[in-house]
Structure 1
Amino acid sequence: MAVTHPVGRNAASRKYDILTALGALALSQDKSAQRLTLRLMTLITARYNWRNDELIVGRVEMARLWCVDERTVKREMAKLKAMGWIEVKRAGARGRITTYRMMLDRILDDTRVAWANVGPDFEARLSLETEAPQPATGQGAIVAFPGAKQVPAPDVSSGDPWALAAGMLHGDDPQSYGAWIAPLTHHDTRGEVMMLMAPSRFHASYVQTHLLRKIERAVRSLDVDVSRVAVLFPEG
């Protein structure tokens, strides 16, 4: 799918198409998914800069707009990042708010199942506009290497801290996630320690050596009461 950001001559209709697709998908989902999508749509309508491809809104302002507390804002934004619908364009720093961008390719791909609910004209138009260009004759096509298994992103609808963290890690590096993080399961959380279970001693050792800091950063970013992650493995 090849989608350009809505600027220029057809920008207005493109924006409405994206919002319509999001709304149609939300109406076909449960209340939790509807609420999350409505919150994103409100942010897009109120604060998204389409020309610069930027969403710059602080957590306090989001909390006021959504009528929730800042902890909920953190969790909802973590869900959207885990779903691949937004990504950080510029990380926040002292005196500067984090800047996000909308991942329109992913949003349109995920809403495709609801296009027909709007009408056949809407579905046909978006299908035509988002169709990936075919390679020119003689140039060949991109072929995936054998064994390069694509693991889908985890379900983040439950809001479970480990599911959200795993979703963020999948978005950062799908290959590393598929090989090393997807097999991890949430074993228990005791106090400030989240315990994950690896399928083997070797797997646990690799994760502890190469990925533990990255996993801990993802977990802490969700504002849960966890300061450390431990990776366990089955005995015997």
Structure 2
Amino acid sequence: MEPQRLTGPEAGALKYDVLTALSVAGLNGSQTLQTSLMRLIALITARYNWRTNELSVGQRDMARMWSVNERTVKREMKRLTQSNLLICKRSGVRGRVGAYSLNFRQIAALSESSWSLVGPDFDHRMRQRYGEEEVKVVQLKTYVRPTEPDRMPSPTPGTWQNAMANLAREHPNLFEAWFTRLRFVRFEEGVLRLKAPSMFVQRYIETHHIRLLASVLEAELGPIDQVQFES
């Protein structure tokens, strides 16, 4: 469920919750994710137009805000759009400033495992707001910080671990958002069985990323006829 009101009496709580979700997800993610989300938070707090649900900032202004060059800005915006945290509404071409909107469902999916770290009230509020049907409670004592792709040990070719390492290297933001918490169950007779952290993540992967996941895994495991998720 997308938030319906970005302005008005209750809009302040929604905005703070979005910023909290992004900041905690970054703090509990890899260094690359931390940097990306910090830059996104800076854009939101400084320039996001909540009334029109739009972010429209020139690359030169972003570069100045982030203390980087415009080439880095292009790479970062590409990462944020490829990971679906930002949705491009209008491309910035021919001197025209691009326009983007926040993808609240993607922010929810990315940060879901960190909600309980903020507190039970925040966790409950976010689950109510985004309509999660099946939840996974992550306790602070069992929460494991995701391994950074560049620090992952070299896995054995032809394995699930090697496929995930390749995916993390080629699509780091997508890996952080959707695949880092997937668990391999077994692969038999062309049927790959996986376990997702929640029904929300499972359905999103099945709808948007199943082809990418299957192609990466087939390169390591061989032909895959079907991908099944276990509860």
Deviations 1:27-51 (A, max 9, x none): 1112221111100000000010011
| Residue aligning to 1:10 | 10
> Does the aligned pair in 2 maintain the 1:57–1:97 contact within 8 Å?
yes
Give the distance between the partners of 1:29 and 1:79, measured in 2 at CA.
15
- The one of 164, 171, 174 equivalent to 1:163 is 171
The normalised TM-score by structure 2 is: 0.59
Give the distance between the partners of 1:176 and 1:18, measured in 2 at CA.
23
By how many angstroms is 1:109 displaced? 2.0
Change in Cα spacing, 1:132 to 1:113, as seen in structure 2 (3 Å) is closer
SS at match of 2:97: coil
By how many angstroms is 1:131 displaced? 1.3
By how many angstroms is 1:3 displaced? 2.7
By how many angstroms is 1:156 displaced? 10
Q: How does 1:1-236 map to 2 (within 5 A)?
A: 1-131=1-131, 163=171, 178-179=210-211, 183=215
Give the distance between the partners of 1:132 and 1:182, measured in 2 at CA.
25
SS at match of 2:215: coil
Deviations 1:57-103 (A, max 9, x none): 11111111111111111111111111110011112243321111111
User: How many pairs are equivalent?
Assistant: 162
RMSD across aligned positions (CA): 3.5
Counterpart of 2:43, as a letter, is L
| Residue aligning to 2:188 | none
> Does the aligned pair in 2 maintain the 1:60–1:70 contact within 8 Å?
yes
Counterpart of 2:15, as a letter, is K
SS at match of 2:52: coil
User: What is the percentage of aligned positions where both structures have the same residue?
Assistant: 36
Give the distance between the partners of 1:29 and 1:180, measured in 2 at CA.
22
Give the distance between the partners of 1:24 and 1:179, measured in 2 at CA.
30
SS at match of 2:55: strand
Deviations 1:119-176 (A, max 9, x none): 111111111122169xxxxxxxxxxxxxxxxxxxx99996x6x637999xxxxxx879
> Does the aligned pair in 2 maintain the 1:33–1:157 contact within 8 Å?
no
> Does the aligned pair in 2 maintain the 1:59–1:74 contact within 8 Å?
yes
Counterpart of 1:183, as a letter, is S
Change in Cα spacing, 1:40 to 1:165, as seen in structure 2 (3 Å) is closer
Long gaps (5+) in structure 2: 134-163, 176-205, 223-231
Give the distance between the partners of 1:82 and 1:155, measured in 2 at CA.
18
Counterpart of 1:126, as a letter, is M
Give the distance between the partners of 1:14 and 1:156, measured in 2 at CA.
36
Give the distance between the partners of 1:181 and 1:37, measured in 2 at CA.
24
Mark the structure with the bigger radius of gyration.
Answer: 1
Give the distance between the partners of 1:166 and 1:119, measured in 2 at CA.
26
Counterpart of 1:90, as a letter, is R
Change in Cα spacing, 1:157 to 1:64, as seen in structure 2 (3 Å) is farther
The normalised TM-score by structure 1 is: 0.58
Give the distance between the partners of 2:81 and 2:122, measured in 1 at CA.
27
SS at match of 2:25: helix
> Does the aligned pair in 2 maintain the 1:89–1:101 contact within 8 Å?
yes
Counterpart of 1:75, as a letter, is R
Change in Cα spacing, 1:69 to 1:10, as seen in structure 2 (3 Å) is same
Deviations 1:153-204 (A, max 9, x none): x99996x6x637999xxxxxx879754896379xxxxxxxxxxxxx9xxxxx
